[in-house]
């Protein structure tokens, strides 16, 4: 029976793969932080001044057919520190600056 030879990857290839993995992880965290900052900014315009643990799960572009304006629908969750409530739901913001919310808040 012949022995199989195992060749090691070249050092350049290992470094290249590691660099791509690190860049991917950094991109993920920067994107998450950017979404959270944008969500916090929109919540501030809605009157939620004191929030924590803001998470934006998804952002989708939509078209409001009644006024024919495009905008974004953000799926968010956060803690309102003023009332000690955990809130989750949707925030709709169109390009004309109109902001609507559909949030469910419950006491913690």
Tens of each residue's pLDDT in the chain, 108 residues: 668 888 898 999 999 999 999 999 999 999 989 988 988 888 888 888 888 898 988 888 988 777 788 888 889 999 988 888 999 999 888 887 788 888 898 987
Task: Please state, in angstroms and as integers, the Cα–Cα distance from residue 72 to each residue in 37, 43, 57, 96, following that order.
Answer: 15, 14, 13, 11
Q: What is the pTM of this model?
A: 0.71
Given a contact cutoff of 8 angstroms between Cβ atoms, the answer to whether 56 and 39 are in contact is yes
């Amino acid at each position: 029976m012949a022995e199989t030879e195992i060749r090691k990857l070249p050092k350049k290839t290992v470094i290249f793969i590691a660099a791509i993995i690190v860049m991917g992880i950094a991109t993920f965290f920067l994107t998450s932080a950017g979404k959270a900052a944008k969500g916090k900014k929109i919540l501030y315009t809605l009157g939620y001044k004191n929030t924590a643990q803001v998470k934006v799960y998804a952002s989708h572009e939509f078209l409001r057919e009644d006024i024919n304006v495009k905008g974004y629908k953000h799926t968010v969750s956060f803690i309102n520190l003023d009332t000690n409530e955990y809130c989750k739901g949707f925030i709709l913001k169109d390009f004309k600056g109109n902001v609507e919310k559909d949030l469910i808040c419950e006491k913690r």
